[in-house]
Amino acid sequence: MTRPDFPGIGGAAKIAVNANVPASTLVFEELRARIVSLKLPPGTILNRADLAEAFGVSQSPIREAIQRLEEIDLVMSYRQSRTEVTRINRERLRYESFLRCGMECEVVDRLCRAPGADLTKAMGYLKMQEVLAGDTDQIELFRELDENFHEELFAAAGYEAIHRLVIAQSSQMARLRTLDLPRGDKMHSVVEGHRAVIDCITAGDRQGAADAMRVHLSGTIGRLDDIMQANDGYFT
């Protein structure tokens, strides 16, 4: 088990800039981002007092953020003991994969039936990914662009709120993708998947778009056994 390094995690200044957002939400979003990116890997012990000091807040928003992380199975708190980042739950992975695939296939279907939908931002993110594909030194930016691409598809279809729901319920899959992505061929595969989806949408090919999205989203879960074998300590 490891203890996290919190320098630069964000303190009172960051929360002041986001004055309209509850402190507990800022803490939750930052901790979730660090957990799904594996900067806080499974087994990491989270000390509430250390977190409160790092964020420049009282322990109340820390407690609320941890409760939200528990709800999505990213941490487990032991009474009067410790809070620990969980291992990746294989059964929840399958649930999350099913949920995300179903929602995203429906989104591309809606976009195919809305020829006026604005895909400009999604296509812009795709072009940036094409430039970065294969450069594993840019993996963090590539991962961010990946999420931005999918978010813009939801936005173009008018379902931003649904995207937030899907992301909130896909934390285990996010960790799995983090383990799978640092491969040059995986980056190219992501780009090819995004391109296939966009091409089908612009052609109005509803079945093709759904099939392309399904294939795109199934790549990582299809490699689950290999990923687990290479990272045994990260899984339940």
Query: Where are the domains positioned within the chain?
Result: 12-85, 90-234
pLDDT tens column, 94-108: 999 999 999 999 999
Buried-state track 75-101, b at ≥16 Cβ within 10 A, e below 16: bebeeeeebbbbbbbeebbeebbeebb
- What kind of architecture, by CATH, is found in domain 90-234? Up-down Bundle (1.20)
Interatomic CA distance for residues 118 and 151, integer angstroms: 13
Q: Is 72 helix (H, G, I), strand (E, B) or coil?
A: coil
Other beta carbons within 10 Å of 198? 20
In the structure, what pLDDT confidence band is assigned to residue 16 with cuts at 50, 70 and 90? Answer: very low
Helix, strand, coil fractions of the chain, as percent rounded to 5: 70, 5, 25
Residue 213 in contact with residue 197, Cβ under 8 Å? yes
The residue-averaged pLDDT of 137-144 equals 92
CA-to-CA dists, residue 194 to 31, 126, 223, 236, angstroms? 28, 7, 19, 31
Q: If you ran DSSP here, which 8-state letter would residue 235 be given?
A: B
In the structure, what pLDDT confidence band is assigned to residue 182 with cuts at 50, 70 and 90? Answer: confident
Q: If you ran DSSP here, which 8-state letter would residue 44 be given?
A: -
pLDDT tens column, 41-92: 999 999 999 999 999 999 999 999 999 999 999 999 988 778 999 999 999 9
The answer to whether the 12-85 and 90-234 domains have the same CATH topology is no
Nearest residue to 202 (alpha-carbon basis) of 102, 122, 101? 122
- What kind of architecture, by CATH, is found in domain 12-85? Orthogonal Bundle (1.10)
Structure tokens at 203: 């052609």
Nearest residue to 193 (alpha-carbon basis) of 172, 210, 175? 210
Q: If you ran DSSP here, which 8-state letter would residue 19 be given?
A: T
Is the pLDDT higher at 158 or at 115? 158
pTM listed for this prediction? 0.85
Interatomic CA distance for residues 218 and 211, integer angstroms: 11
pLDDT at 45: 95
